[in-house]
Every structure is written in C-alpha cells, then in structure tokens.
Structure 1
C-alpha cells in the first residue's frame, strides 16, 4: 500500500508548512480541511462502495474528492500523525434531527478524533475534540472540557455524555444539520466502522442512499446542497437557490464545493445527475418549500 503523500495533501489544503504541533497550527489545519474538502457521498449515489482505509481516503482527498466522516476524519488523522500530533480515533454516534434518542457510540455511525498534548489557557488538559467530518459542524477544534462555544453562526455545547459512560456529548446549534454527537474514550480502529460503512453505502434505509447531500463549512457558516437545492447558512442571511440544469449543478459542485470530479466520465456524470434529479423531484413534492440543511440520517 502506498504511503501518505503529505505534500500533496497539504497542497489540497492550500498549506505549505504548518510548522511543528501547536494549538495555532492545529486550528489552521482543521479550518483548512473543512473549508477545502467537502463532505460528500456522491459515490453512494453511483452505487459504489468506497474504501475507508485512511491511506486510500487521504489519496482520494489529495486527488480532489471529499467524503463523509470515515474518509474525512480517517485521512485527517493520518495527516496529523505525520505532522507530529498525538491523535486517537473514537467510536461515535450522531443523533439525527428526526431521532428521538441518541444512538450512542456503539452504533459507530461516526468517527470522531481527539488530539492530546497541546495545553492552552482554555484547554489545561491539552486534549482537543477534532472533527472535520460533521458537515456543518466544527470549523475549528474544541477544548475537551464542558462549556459552550460559538463558531460563526453556530453555538455548540460540550458536556458529559448520557449514553457513553466516561464519554462526551457535542450538542449542535438548533439551526444545524443534526442534534448532537456522542463519543466514547476507548480508542477505535478502522475495523470498528466497516459494518456501518457498508450499511450507509448500500442500504435503502441509509440517508446517503436516499438523499444526495454535499456540505462545506467555513468561518461564516456553511454551504449545503441537498439534491438540487443550494443553501447558504450563516453570514448575514440564509438564502437558497434551486439548480435547474445539469450544467448548473456540476458548476456549483466545482465552484462552491471544490469538487471538479475529474474521476467521473461522461456516463457517470449523466447517471449521477439523473439519479439526483429523480430523487429531488420526489423530495420537492413534500419538503422543498421548507428546505433546511440536513445531514442524511445515519
């Protein structure tokens, strides 16, 4: 298996040399990751099961693609380790907006990260929650301590988890795409997520199969593409735009989300657009008029 090409990954993030591990560098790396690497599951819409091996995910990102949490955080952890950070994978569970109860980390529908060894005035323990795989979630890492944190238009809360003994709970802003995320403190590995990844990529019950969603976070808010509806959340005011043509849809993927999709041929592009358009027509019947940024239910 090929190793990690750190320079290629950093070029994708538009960073040259972040320097030795520090809180400042970690914040810059995290912000660059979520701003330049889109949260997306377009391969699922094409019926393709992708690898979540972190080396393959890193190569995917360096080549211009994004992914969802297993790809994004898996690759980001690999990059951070190569730069000298002490990173640990954590099993986590994202609670979707329509879920009455949090699923807890046993479901492993999410991969979260922690970084230790970086004490700061607001983080005496030196342990940070790092998560570049939550769509419209964190823009920068949070100190792993109880409290409320504001990043752009979103207010987050970190507290002890009710469903993960010894673990933590991140509550998202009420305007965000999901309710919250619980994670445990036992180290995890890629094998812990393979079964759920298979389900998320192939099951008719998976939100990634039912809905095409692409997100990109920045300091001012988030860009969210749900089917053929593009929304901007944050900044001065939310607004939305309906994309009526294939050309317009692919232009938005490239210009807004940085997804040029050079790995897809013309047949792939036609198949993907047709599927998104069909699903959007069904979805639009009942939901487009009140479209909100929505992470697919995991």
Structure 2
C-alpha cells in the first residue's frame, strides 16, 4: 500500500520510519479521526465498494472517508505496514432500543505490545469507525474513560464470552458495542457490508450520515441537518446545495474532488427529496 501517501493524507509524514510506540499509535489515531470523516456517501452516489482494506486506503488517500469496514480496515493495513501488532475482530454495534450481539456489523481493532504509564499491559482498543465515539485509543482495561465531553465505559461483554463491551456516552448516536477476542479476516464482513449498502432497512441507505470527531466534540450531518455535540453545540438545516457542499468541504474535510458536477446535482436532489419526505413524517 501507499504508506507514505496515507501518512501525508492524515498530516503525519514524519511517522513513516518512526518507532512503534503507544505515543505514536495515539498520534495516528487522533490524526485519522480528525482528518478522515465517517461517511457512506458512495451508497447515495450509487458507487459500490468492497471491504478490501487496500481499496479503502486508496479512497482515503484520494480525499474521502468511509464507515467502519473501510476506516478500520484501511487503518489496520496502515498500522501493520508501520510495524504495529494489530488484530481484527468481529463486533456488533447496538443501536439505541436494540439488543446487544455479535452481528458482524462492526469491525474492531486491537493492538498489543505497547505498554505505557497509563496502560502497563500494553493492549489497546483502536476504533476509527464508531463515528461519534473514540477520539484516541482506549486501554483494553475495564474502567470509565473520559475523552472531551464524552464518558465511555469498557467492561467484560455479556454476549461475547471473554470479549469486551464498549458503552457509549448517553449523548452518543448508539448505545454500545461488543466484540470477541478471536482474530478474523475481512471476509467475515462481506455479507453484512452488502446488506448495509443495499437493504432498505440499513441506516446508511435510509439516511446520508456524516460525522467527524475532534477533541471537543463531534460534528454530524444527517440528511440536511447539521448539528454539533460538545463545544459550540448547535443545529441548522442546510437549505441549498451550495451550503451542503460547503459544509462537506469546510467541516468534514470532504471536497468531493472525485465527484462530478452532474453527480453532485443528482446527489443533492436525492438528499432534498429525502428531507422533504422526512419533514412530511416519512421514515428518517
């Protein structure tokens, strides 16, 4: 993979030959979270994707983002290329009101062998694909953790024997996530990826959602409603295509240079029509 290009994309070219360390892992995680948005606009653009980490990495290098299979898949390839002892796991995100389970709707990453003062065991939960959750890695140790305005709990899972449960902040977009410790490869997610990209019941199909986390909160765009949780909290509806694409570029760092003017116009019409349906009381 283009490791140097990836590091340039997230603003850390100096880490190309840097030593493997907990400090550098944290720097990689934060830079990736802050510069690569959580997004699934390829679905709304009618562009099929796969869960291949190298394909995802090339798309990210080209200025786009992705959702968990893309973001964590690509980051695992980057970290492995840099020498980190990275493992992929099958997880399950529990939406609010739903049941917990290992549903394979989430790819989870752990790293080991990186002891630090706050984590002498050296194992870490690494997750770039939870949208409005982690800003930096968590020690893979049971406890309560605060990152910016959000408080998280990591505890033994009740549905994955020997695994872990991540409880999101009460203000977060989902309730929690469970994962087992068995290693897996990307083929474990192919079927669920197809479902999430095509099923009318998929949240990615129903709503064009984009999120970008920073140290003080998270910006979120659901359809045409732009909101922020944390410092500078607010909410506004983007009523024109110009405002929408300006928000993508300025807030979510998504200039969509790979999307033609005709594609942008078609996407805007789809988003606007979906927003009107939502205003009329249709499904969100």
TM-score between both structures, scaled by the size of structure 2: 0.96
**2:6 maps to what in 1?**
9
The correspondence for 2:115, drawn from 103, 119, 124, is 119
User: Unpaired segments of 5 or more residues in structure 2?
Assistant: none
**2:153 maps to what in 1?**
157
4+ residue runs over 4 A deviation: none
- How does 1:188-227 map onto structure 2 within 5 Å? 188-227=184-223
SS state of the match for residue 97, structure 1? coil
SS state of the match for residue 93, structure 2? strand
**1:240 maps to what in 2?**
235
Aligned residue pairs total 282
Question: 1: CA distance between counterparts of 2:31 and 2:279?
Answer: 33
* 8 Å CA contact 2:135, 2:214 repeated in 1: yes
* 8 Å CA contact 1:49, 1:198 repeated in 2: no
**1:283 maps to what in 2?**
278
SS state of the match for residue 187, structure 1? coil
**2:60 maps to what in 1?**
61
Once the two structures are TM-superposed, the CA of residue 286 in structure 1 deviates from its matched residue by 4.5
SS state of the match for residue 182, structure 2? strand
- How does 1:42-81 map onto structure 2 within 5 Å? 42-81=41-80
The correspondence for 2:266, drawn from 258, 271, 274, is 271
Once the two structures are TM-superposed, the CA of residue 48 in structure 1 deviates from its matched residue by 2.5
- How does 1:85-124 map onto structure 2 within 5 Å? 85-99=84-98, 101-102=99-100, 104-105=101-102, 107-124=103-120
**1:177 maps to what in 2?**
173
SS state of the match for residue 159, structure 1? strand
User: Unpaired segments of 5 or more residues in structure 1?
Assistant: 288-295
**2:39 maps to what in 1?**
40
* 8 Å CA contact 1:12, 1:62 repeated in 2: yes
Once the two structures are TM-superposed, the CA of residue 260 in structure 1 deviates from its matched residue by 1.0
* 8 Å CA contact 2:50, 2:190 repeated in 1: no
TM-score between both structures, scaled by the size of structure 1: 0.92
**1:255 maps to what in 2?**
250
For the aligned residue pairs, the C-alpha RMSD in angstroms reads 1.4
Question: 1: CA distance between counterparts of 2:159 and 2:4?
Answer: 40
* 8 Å CA contact 1:47, 1:202 repeated in 2: no
* 8 Å CA contact 1:89, 1:114 repeated in 2: yes
**1:20 maps to what in 2?**
19
Question: 2: CA distance between counterparts of 1:171 and 1:286?
Answer: 31
SS state of the match for residue 37, structure 2? coil
**1:140 maps to what in 2?**
136
Q: Deviations over 1:166-200 (max 9, x none)?
A: 10000000000110000110001110000000000
Q: Deviations over 1:54-90 (max 9, x none)?
A: 0110000000000000000000011111111000001
Question: 2: CA distance between counterparts of 1:281 and 1:116?
Answer: 48
**1:291 maps to what in 2?**
none
